[in-house]
């Protein structure tokens, strides 16, 4: 087991990474401060892993909520089911919420914990690669609104994160690939060595090699933790974590949540960002080809779905990364170094989109 500490002053917490951690109940129990606990999972993950967690928590005042699976259920209405259960079972401010599942479960449980009685503790047990490398680090929690993703939420840090690589053996290949998209992102934005490592090991990740997965998760979380520690409330540099996300959010919104996986939309978005970065003459055509090749090896999409330029631009404009009407984009200054810019001409964005097959 590797342990990574996310350094945020009095809200610091450890991330435990390794194979078989769900079978070490003390990892979980050491971070539960009161006698009450509510586990939130979903109907896909619960049948596989919930019994183990329930057993680990058998000595406590225990409740559980099973949510429907999928991004389309990341809503205020579904969130209410968590509040209802907490109140029906008389959970008080000393309770701990445990998220057992992917990013949707983690984001919703974290937001329920942030807002229940104005804030209670929570623990993340992410069971997808995407949530292990992304949504369990950084304290972002929330739900979607019909008019935009993650529009309602809070920053709320967990007590700990338990990333058991063994849970990835039951993950569908498509979701594993979606997670690798975010892993590749860390290489692109801030760690050229890691990007080179990924070019060597991407097939091992796809094959669920436990050692390679643990290494990829550790290095992704380490990179993310460094960025987050320097900018907890996302005032500036943290925005580099959104490489590919502004394009990606437009794709997800246009296609309806859940049709494209988040990581798939980010992959196509990163490819667009790379192409726009080339247009700015920051990276080379060879670099763009390298990104495309690595994404394709990871079995990820590299072209956007059937949409128009106007649709893209309109949906990008409601993304949170827009400041006072100016489109702010994360691009690549070079391989392994992201840049945040508001100086891209709309025509260059349009040209990049049409070059990628989007209708004008």
Nearer of residues 150 and 341 to a copy of itself, judged by Cβ = 150
Per-position DSSP letters for 27-54, written without gaps between them? HHHTT--SSEEEEEEETTTIIIIIHHHH
Alpha-carbon distance of 30 to 26, in angstroms, equals 6
Alpha-carbon distance of 16 to 70, in angstroms, equals 25
Nearer of residues 18 and 248 to a copy of itself, judged by Cβ = 248
Residues in the annotated binding site for Zn(2+): 182, 245, 262
Least separation in angstroms between residue 205's CB and a copy of itself is 31
Count other Cβ atoms within 10 Å, centred on residue 23: 12
Is residue 116 at the binding interface for a copy of itself, with CB under 8 A as the rule?
yes
Specify which residues 18 forms β-bridges with.
164
Is residue 140 at the binding interface for a copy of itself, with CB under 8 A as the rule?
yes
Is residue 10 at the binding interface for a copy of itself, with CB under 8 A as the rule?
no
Report the site for a copy of itself in 217-246 (rule: CB under 8 A): 233-234
Is residue 8 at the binding interface for a copy of itself, with CB under 8 A as the rule?
no
Structure tokens at 131: 């949530």
x-or-dash string of contact with a copy of itself, 93-112, rule CB under 8 A: xx------------------
Phi-psi region of 340 (alpha: psi -120 to 50; beta: other; left: phi over 0): beta
Judging by DSSP bridges, how do beta strands 61-67 and 36-42 pair with one another? parallel
Judging by DSSP bridges, how do beta strands 161-164 and 36-42 pair with one another? unpaired
Least separation in angstroms between residue 235's CB and a copy of itself is 10
Least separation in angstroms between residue 61's CB and a copy of itself is 9
Element (H, E) at 124: strand 121-126
Nearer of residues 171 and 250 to a copy of itself, judged by Cβ = 250
Alpha-carbon distance of 313 to 243, in angstroms, equals 16
Is residue 114 at the binding interface for a copy of itself, with CB under 8 A as the rule?
yes
Is residue 324 at the binding interface for a copy of itself, with CB under 8 A as the rule?
yes
The only residue of 3, 12, 20, 35 in contact with a copy of itself, by rule CB under 8 A? 35
Binding site for a copy of itself (CB under 8 A): 34-36, 76, 80, 83-84, 87-88, 90, 92-94, 114-119, 140, 142, 145, 147-148, 150-155, 233-234, 317-318, 320, 322-325
């Amino acid at each position: 087991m590797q342990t990574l500490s996310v350094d945020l002053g009095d809200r610091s917490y450890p991330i435990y990474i390794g194979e078989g951690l769900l079978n070490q109940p003390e990892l979980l129990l050491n971070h539960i401060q009161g006698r009450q606990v509510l586990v939130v999972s979903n109907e896909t993950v619960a049948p596989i892993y919930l019994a183990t967690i329930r057993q680990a928590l058998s000595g406590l005042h225990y409740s559980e909520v099973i949510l429907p699976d999928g991004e389309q259920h990341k809503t205020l209405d579904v969130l209410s089911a968590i509040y209802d259960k907490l109140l029906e079972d008389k959970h008080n401010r000393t309770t701990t919420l445990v998220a057992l599942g992917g990013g949707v479960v983690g984001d919703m449980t974290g937001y329920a914990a942030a807002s229940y009685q104005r804030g209670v503790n929570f623990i993340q047990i992410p069971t997808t690669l995407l949530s292990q490398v992304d949504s369990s680090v950084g304290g972002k929690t929330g739900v979607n609104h019909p008019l935009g993703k993650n529009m309602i939420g809070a920053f709320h840090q967990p007590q700990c994160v338990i990333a058991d690589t063994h849970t990835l053996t039951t993950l569908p290949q498509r979701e594993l690939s979606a997670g690798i998209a975010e892993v590749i992102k860390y290489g692109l934005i801030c760690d050229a060595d890691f990007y080179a490592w990924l070019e060597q090991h991407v097939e091992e990740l796809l094959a669920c090699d436990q050692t390679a997965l643990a290494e990829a998760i550790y290095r992704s979380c380490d990179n993310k933790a460094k960025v987050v520690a320097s900018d907890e409330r996302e005032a500036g540099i943290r925005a580099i974590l959104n490489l590919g996300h502004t394009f990606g959010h437009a794709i997800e919104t246009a296609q309806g949540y859940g049709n494209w996986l988040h990581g798939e939309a980010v992959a196509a978005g990163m490819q667009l960002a790379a192409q726009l970065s080339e247009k700015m003459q920051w990276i080379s055509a060879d670099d763009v080809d390298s990104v495309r090749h690595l994404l394709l090896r990871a079995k990820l999409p590299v072209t956007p779905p059937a949409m128009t330029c106007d649709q893209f631009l309109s949906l990008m404009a409601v993304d949170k990364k827009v400041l006072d009407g100016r489109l702010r984009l994360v691009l690549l200054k070079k391989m392994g170094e992201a840049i945040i810019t508001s100086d891209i001409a709309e025509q260059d964005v349009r040209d990049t989109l049409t070059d990628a097959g989007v209708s004008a």
